[in-house]
Amino acid sequence: MSITEREFNLQPTPRILPMLGEIKLPEWRCVAELVDNAVDGFLGIRRAGEDITAAQIHVNIPLTDAPSAKLSVRDNGPGMSADTLEKAVTAGWTGNDPINNLGMFGMGFNIATARLGTVTTVWTTRKGDPEWVGLQIDFERLLQQRHFRTPMLTRPKLDPNESGTEVTVERIKPEQRQFFAKTANRTKVSRELSRTYSAMLRPNGVPITFRLFLNGTIVRGRNHCTWGGEGNANREVTTSRFGIVNAYQPIDVNLADRPFCNACWQWLPFQEQNCPMCESSANVTIRSRRVRGWLGVQRFLHDSEYGIDFLRNGRKIELSSMDLFDWNDGEKVEREYPIDDPRHRGRIVGEIHVDHCRVNYTKDRFDRNDPSWDEMVKILRGEGPLRPDKAADLGSGQNNTPLFLLFQAFRRSSPKPKVAGCYAKLLVVKDNAQAEEMARKFYDGVGEFQPDTKWYELIEEEDRKLLREDTDGPGGEDDPIIDDITGPAPGPQAPPLAPAPIIVRAPIASLSREFLSDETGLRWNVAASRAERRDPLLANGQPWVLKYDSTGVFQFVVDTQHAIFQSATMTPLDALLSELAAQALDTQRGRADARPHVVVLAGLRARYAGESRLDPVSLASEAIMTISGIAKSLPKNVQPDDSLTIFRELLSTEQEAILAKMATISVANPQQAINDGRFLQFAPRQTVLNVFERYPELFLDGRYWDTPYACIDYGSQTESAKTQIVRYYTGLLADAIWLSEQDPSDLAELGRARLLRASLALDLLATGGGSEE
């Protein structure tokens, strides 16, 4: 075969551009592509050593489904020259810095604009340029003329110091017009932009700060609602195995510099000077690599709103990623978090900047084949499992990585044991629905909800309840409000008045909040406080009062020691909700659309009394976790010889069931698990009860439950007392085992009394129960 001098013209047909629009890219990501290119202009200013002042990006999206609809993105960045503009809009152009920039002005730009519409106009100017220069990409015209050439446009410029770029997309595609015309979709675009650029929409943003506007309204970054961190008190807990663990773990690790090929977008082996792909050193540079950011604990639990955000040059590529919560042993992947919550809710979050890692062309995922990604994973979670039992089984070494420490200290969503201080040790709010409601105010930017103080007040209140079990009077460890009731000063001839009593009221943080009735639309801003029986507002011995004051606040004053609250079916929350329902009835009196008292009360209870709801699914899951926690306590309390003896005393069917379970989950060293007591974790639940009955001393006296056992001495009645203790816990365990073995759908048919008994059994097993730390 001979080679001639004739050249082929390999310039792609103009039809390639509209075909790019067939690539499935969500509408908000199309907008983000254009925002990325604007951000790149500001990053260029920063790299040049110049200050960025008042950086702004204005996005306008269509409001109606009209043929004249337009979409535009305008910035006040540095602008471009005509030559740079020509390259920037060329499909497949790779001259843009693939590491230090966000956008791929060229491919990303063309995909986004072609997805949105068929005519795109770009105008740009630099400071000092005499005019704006621009070009227009009209797909229909390009197809007709069969080439890519398009004329350079100019327009006058009034202010020579003006600079920036403006991209306008017209002839919006019908399906895109229909999308943007829906209010819910425009809200979604705003929400996604808020999350994606949150690291740069806050003061002292990373790597820069800019302001983003959508249809004239500022887009505020959605920050994480975490314990500790900037603007909050230092939140830390002390663990017996890992010492002090802070709920906010800052991360900043510099990796060794490495060669990178700008043409092939590939990291090269260390000390390599030539790229093996393009076989050239011309485009190889030495680049720095750094993993920075933080991991932390959210102030509320959620079944989906948790996980780690991964960022590249300030833009979030992956949002709420769960990948670091998985353990991969090379054969299968196991989710390690959350595993301790009955409703599978989590709260570990974070923002990790990995500017040096590669991303895919749609910029929604980092390349997991990039070796730099594996290095980051080792920094954040280590090389072994997060679960201590799994790590011990595999013989994993010491692990002090940020995610490992957070997992050990804050993995659980409910404290065990339930003793004073247990909620503070976990940094968990008992009423998660209230914690979520407060978080919504945090996201809305309400100032008093930015620090974590209000959440911590709820924790302190719950721990005080456990300390005094509501038997003390008001005050105690609360921060009291003291009213000195003295009346008017006496006249000169009047006899001196007897000293008036000092009235003490203690705030109730869990009831001091805004209450909303979905049925009526009414709202009440309530300030609740615990009062003494002699409080003048509680006339004639009434247990509570709801009084509207001049500041627009409903003051709820309650005597928690009143006899009415000795009932198992009445709490101060119940009292408040019934009072609010009565207030709603009074407000609606005489209206044709008035809602009945019972309807309003039912709605308020559904919204605010969820913690007292008997949920069969949650109860069954809680029972399973409770029994598992008891089984997991054995290795801490037994010697190898004793563990082997306990195992050998089991029925042969029990031993076989344990070994079968170990085989199912591929326990690496079954004999070691038998020797150290971990075998009980794989045993049938009835076996856990049987082992407790035979060896109660391994679970009492603070080993799992705090109840004294071995040390009690009642003389001739000692054995009888010990028997009663074992019977007490055996009965509770039997209820828990029964509950764990029921189908949740069957539980729902059993009625309130049976579920209430099972729920109380779980609470009693948790009270005084040991930690699984």
Residues 594-634 have pLDDT tens digits of: 899 999 999 999 999 988 888 888 888 888 888 988 998 89
Question: What is the CATH classification number for the domain harbouring 347?
Answer: 3.30.230
Q: Tell me: do 608 and 644 sit in the same domain.
A: no
97's CB contacts (< 8 A; 6+ apart) are: 262
pLDDT at 279: 76
State yes or no: cis peptide before 207, omega within 30 of 0.
Answer: yes
How distant is the alpha carbon of residue 695 from its chain centre? 41
Residues 378-413 have pLDDT tens digits of: 999 998 999 887 887 777 778 999 999 999 999 999
Domain boundary among 612, 640, 657: 612
Compute the distance between CA of residue 201 and CA of residue 190 in angstroms, rounded to an integer: 13
pLDDT at 231: 73
Residues 322-380 have pLDDT tens digits of: 999 999 888 889 999 998 888 899 999 999 999 999 888 788 999 998 888 999 999 99
Tell me, yes or no, whether 447 lies in a domain.
no
Q: Tell me: do 577 and 620 sit in the same domain.
A: no
Q: Tell me: do 205 and 262 sit in the same domain.
A: no
Tell me, yes or no, whether 112 lies in a domain.
yes
Domain boundary among 186, 219, 252: 219
Tell me, yes or no, whether 225 lies in a domain.
no
Compute the distance between CA of residue 507 and CA of residue 695 in angstroms, rounded to an integer: 46
5's CB contacts (< 8 A; 6+ apart) are: none
Q: Per the structure block, which two tokens stand in for 443?
A: 């996201």
pLDDT at 458: 97
Q: Which of 579, 566, 623, 627 is nearest to 605 (CA)?
A: 579
Looking at the structure of the chain, the number of domains it has is 4
Cβ-based neighbour number of residue 738 at 10 Å: 15
Q: Residue ranges of the chain with pLDDT lower than 50?
A: 1-4, 8-10, 94-95, 104-106, 470-477, 484-490, 770-772
The overall longest dimension of the chain from CA atoms, in Å, is 130
Tell me, yes or no, whether 272 lies in a domain.
yes
Look-up of token digits 């071995």:
710
169's CB contacts (< 8 A; 6+ apart) are: 70, 71, 72, 113, 116, 117, 119, 120
Q: Tell me: do 650 and 526 sit in the same domain.
A: no
What element of type H or E holds 450? none
How distant is the alpha carbon of residue 576 from its chain centre? 31
Q: Tell me: do 597 and 635 sit in the same domain.
A: no
Q: Tell me: do 509 and 580 sit in the same domain.
A: yes
Q: Which of 266, 256, 261 is nearest to 291 (CA)?
A: 256
| 3-class SS letters over 653-702 | HHHHHHHHHHHHCCCCCHHHHHHCCHHHHHCCHHHHHHHHHHCHHHCCCC
How distant is the alpha carbon of residue 16 from its chain centre? 42
Compute the distance between CA of residue 469 and CA of residue 471 in angstroms, rounded to an integer: 6
pLDDT at 101: 60
Compute the distance between CA of residue 763 and CA of residue 418 in angstroms, rounded to an integer: 8
Compute the distance between CA of residue 652 and CA of residue 271 in angstroms, rounded to an integer: 61
Q: Tell me: do 58 and 185 sit in the same domain.
A: yes
Q: Tell me: do 248 and 273 sit in the same domain.
A: yes
354's CB contacts (< 8 A; 6+ apart) are: 291, 310, 311, 312, 366, 372, 373, 376
Domain span at residue 388 reads 236-419
Tell me, yes or no, whether 6 lies in a domain.
no
* φ, ψ at 483 (rounded to 5°): -110, 125
Note whether 283 and 267 are within 8 A (CB). no
Compute the distance between CA of residue 69 and CA of residue 47 in angstroms, rounded to an integer: 37
Q: Tell me: do 701 and 729 sit in the same domain.
A: yes
Q: Tell me: do 38 and 167 sit in the same domain.
A: yes
Using a 10 angstrom Cβ sphere, with 0-12 exposed, 13-18 middle and 19 or more buried, the burial of residue 496 is exposed
Q: Tell me: do 604 and 644 sit in the same domain.
A: no
Note whether 167 and 120 are within 8 A (CB). yes
Domain boundary among 557, 586, 612: 612
Question: What is the CATH classification number for the domain harbouring 44?
Answer: 3.30.565.10
Tell me, yes or no, whether 8 lies in a domain.
no
Given CA atoms 72, 78, 83, 88 in this order, what sign does their dihedral have? negative
Q: For strands 211-214 and 164-172, give the pairing.
A: unpaired
pLDDT at 605: 94
* φ, ψ at 211 (rounded to 5°): -105, 135
pLDDT at 484: 46
Tell me, yes or no, whether 24 lies in a domain.
yes
Q: Tell me: do 695 and 603 sit in the same domain.
A: no
Q: With H, G, I as helix, E, B as strand and everything else as coil, classify residue 153.
A: strand
Note whether 347 and 410 are within 8 A (CB). yes
pLDDT at 105: 42
Note whether 347 and 435 are within 8 A (CB). no
Q: For strands 211-214 and 56-60, give the pairing.
A: parallel
pLDDT at 620: 85
Write the Ramachandran bin of 54: left for phi over 0, alpha for psi from -120 to 50, otherwise beta: left
Tell me, yes or no, whether 505 lies in a domain.
yes
* φ, ψ at 33 (rounded to 5°): -60, -40
pLDDT at 567: 79
